[in-house]
Chain A
Amino acid sequence: MIAWIVIAFVSLCCFWAILSYNRLVTSRNDVRNAWSQIDVQLKRRYDLIPNLVAAVKGYMQHEKDVLENVVRARAEAMSTANLPKKATAEESLTSSLKSLFVIIEKYPVLKASDNVLRLQEDLVATENRIAFARQLYNDLVANYQIRCEIFPDMMIAQTFAFQSFEYFRADITEKKATPSAELS
């Protein structure tokens, strides 16, 4: 009788362990997918920026420094790999782009150019995609982290050494005041 109870208990534990392990793996894969989405969108932004800079360069004689800012921020963001630092670099790239858009608004020639408008819309869309992908990623990391830390699942997570993920958000200490400009 006791033997049966033990067997039942052990098999129940095994069943739970498999279930919990699978849940953790799914959760981890979700996080990884979300990260790859961010990566795709960041790359897309790196590719679009040179096109926009080339398209507006000819017209912007007085605001050379804004363009240089954008180019510099892009280079910096591309070269940083460390996650919180990269988030900060991406953030400053976003704000430099915002100030570029504000200036484009001032040039009727640029606003009338179909090419510039297209590039601008593509960049705004990419910018939003990055923000949304990041929101999703951070939510999923939080979700995963909670799973790894709450009591019974924690044992599985530690036994199989499930990695932990960093949030993709800028260091609050380094955050500079960004010019408030509307993107739309």
Chain B
Amino acid sequence: MPITFIDIERQKNWRIGLFFCLLIFLYFLFAFIIAQTIVFLFGWSNVFFVGSKIKYIAAITAFALTVSSVHFGISAFTAVDRVVEQIRAGVPDDEDGVHRVLLNVMDEIHIASGSKRQIRCLVIPTLSLNALAVTDLKGDAVIAITEGLLSRLKRDQLEAVMAHEAYHIFSGDCLEASVATSLFGVYAAAIEGVKDTVVQEFRAVPFLVLFWFLNSLGEIVTMFISREREYRADAGAVRITRNPVALAEALNLIAGRWSGSGFIHEGLEMLCISSPIPDHHDESEDWWDDLMSTHPPIGKRVDVLLQMARVSHSTLAGREKPRAVFQPEIEQLYYALDSEDTWIGPFRFSELTAFPWFTGSTKVSMIPTPSEFDDSVRSVDDIVRERIPVNLNMRTTFLCPACRQPLMKEAYVDTSVDRCVFCRGVLIDNDRIFRILARREIKCDERFRTLMRAVTADSLRSLTIRKQRLKERKLVHLTLCPRCGRSMFRSFYSYAFLIELDKCSMCRVTWFDADELDMLQCLIENKITDALVDRA
């Protein structure tokens, strides 16, 4: 019985009081050690013991109480904001097909549970597969799910995952975990972020020490959080959705894939549906592992769910949301007849447009030096005419930075991009890049991989051969933002993925030349598989 069953199973949050006591004890210890050191070093015993020993202890206790109250208050009341900031979660986009489903599912869970407690849902921009729930003493409650998981779950599986997280919140055990996480884990995660930026310098040492210290404290707190709560939430999710098989399928899907190591910090693992950094504790079940681990073995959870549904393991047939399979094509390169009547090339279409003599009647060909009456020789106008789309009402008011032609709004994997039909370049809002990468499956064949390696190798040398060639002809290839007209900032996607892209920081958009988006995805996916192979 939805409302009542949650009421009955609502747990007493006694552990939160325990955490507070632990915090007081830690600060007391800390203050006591410092005070004793000062006394010992400076021989100030007469200063400190002016009153009595009781006053001395009382002063330290008062200090510990004040500081731990402030620490606890800040942590417990701002847990949601801090975690959300840490994982860079964003509000779902109502214009996006997949996000709309997420919002609807959240609404369905509210109805099914009969709970009046409002939960917000957010999306984490990463390709990893995970979901987490967090609440705080303010009463704010959030479920965040990664773009990667969202792109792979069918509707009923998504419902099951959301119900699992919602149950954590309704039953109150999420509050304990959130407070436990926010006491140390969130700070550890934040410091890890800072640490990475100063890693090569000796200045990193204090960060490393602090990080290690907070992480160890976080681990102590973890001991008080039982891994049983995951079984209970699984059972609660089944009570809400009445579909154990869907949850088993979802868990099976998450198991063995990249569940967010490197993006979701270890300190937040208590909040997640599956531990982002699976370690040996998670796989076994003796008392020590029970104590140290926050998540039971995922296989065991799947077994329990399947027993509930009275079906065998063989019925789990890897049901997964079909994703758009995409075979990247290498962009057609053209040779062109320049102003001095010689064939030059090969160039991309967008590069051709940068030449001053380039007009609609310029002759282009796909082969190096064709004779004048060769079939392959055609004028630019002919090619352009072929590529004009039938549906012209998708035309936007933005112009392609290369061809100066209006970009076309194109629906693509449940979101939309602005594409130039002539040079195939795309303008994508920054927060949509991950959605596209998550929702399509890319097949990088050997030919494309070779090209990709060549481009990244060139990027390493920071100048491509093609650009050099353009430079010799004294052409400035400066891309202007189609939205605001300012010149875009050319930079690498990230230092891990060396693809040079044009970004506009004002409009938060990125311009991808024809095959750059595909190349980026190939790179990222190869990197992930490499990382998984390395770890295994």
Contacts and interface: CB of A to CB of B under 8 A. Distances in A.
Interface of A: 30, 34, 37, 41, 112, 114, 117-118, 121-122, 124-125, 128-129, 132-133, 135-136, 139-140, 142-143, 183-184
Which 10 pairs across A and B sit closest by C-beta, in order of nearness? A132-B112, A125-B104, A184-B155, A139-B1, A132-B111, A136-B114, A143-B1, A128-B108, A184-B154, A133-B111
B70 interface: no
A132 B166 CA distance: 15
Contact of A129 (B2, B101, B111, B411): B111
A140 B155 contact: no
A30 B5 CA distance: 14
A142 B1 CA distance: 9
Given A112-B411, A142-B1, A184-B155, A121 B97 contact: yes
B100 interface: yes
A125 B111 CA distance: 12
B122 to A, nearest CB: 19
Contacts of B529: none
Interface of A is mostly: helix
B155 A124 contact: yes
Contacts of B101: 121, 125
Contacts of A30: 3, 114
A118 B96 CA distance: 10
B97 A139 contact: no
Contact of A183 (B112, B113, B155): B155
A90 to B, nearest CB: 16
A37 B104 contact: no
B2 A136 contact: yes
B93 to A, nearest CB: 14
B157 to A, nearest CB: 9
Contacts of B159: 128
B156 interface: yes
A34 B114 contact: yes
A136 B97 contact: no
B36 interface: no
Interface in B241-298: 242
B9 interface: no
A125 B108 contact: yes
B487 interface: no
Nearest to A132: B112
A117 B101 CA distance: 11
A30 B116 CA distance: 12
Contacts of B107: 125, 129
Contacts of A139: 1-2
A86 to B, nearest CB: 19
Contacts of B45: none
Chain B CB within 10 A, most for which of A112, A128, A135: A128
A160 B153 CA distance: 50
Interface residues of B, number: 21
Nearest to A125: B104
Nearest to A30: B3
Contact of B104 (A34, A121, A136, A143): A121
Contacts of B155: 124, 128, 183-184
Nearest to B240: A132
B411 A140 contact: no
B4 interface: yes
Contacts of A41: 111
B514 to A, nearest CB: 23
B3 to A, nearest CB: 6
Nearest to A127: B108
Contacts of B411: 112, 114
A110 B527 CA distance: 38
11 contacts: A30-B114, A41-B111, A114-B411, A117-B97, A121-B104, A125-B104, A125-B108, A132-B111, A132-B112, A136-B112, A184-B154
A116 B317 CA distance: 30
Nearest to B114: A136
Contacts of A135: 2, 112, 242
Contacts of B3: 30, 140
A112 B112 CA distance: 31
B156 A184 contact: yes
Nearest to A40: B111
A46 B242 CA distance: 26
Nearest to A139: B1
Nearest to B153: A184
Contacts of B112: 132-133, 135-136
Contacts of B114: 30, 34, 136, 140
Contact of B111 (A37, A112, A124, A143): A37
Given A125-B105, A132-B112, A135-B242, 10 more contacts: A118-B100, A122-B104, A128-B155, A129-B107, A129-B108, A136-B111, A136-B113, A140-B2, A142-B1, A184-B155
A42 B284 CA distance: 48
Nearest to B414: A117
A32 to B, nearest CB: 13
Interface in B112-153: 112-114
Nearest to B100: A121
Contacts of B97: 117, 121
Contacts of A37: 111
A124 B154 CA distance: 13
A60 B65 CA distance: 73
A139 B113 CA distance: 11
Interface string B1-45: 111100000000000000000000000000000000000000000
Nearest to A183: B155
A113 B104 CA distance: 20
Interface string B87-104: 000000000010011001
A142 to B, nearest CB: 7
A140 B108 contact: no
A117 B155 CA distance: 15
Contacts of B104: 121-122, 124-125, 128
B99 to A, nearest CB: 11
B1 A140 contact: yes
Nearest to B116: A33
B6 to A, nearest CB: 12
B96 to A, nearest CB: 11
Nearest to B97: A117
Interface in B158-181: 159
A124 B155 CA distance: 10
A129 B241 CA distance: 11
B343 to A, nearest CB: 41
Interface in B461-511: none
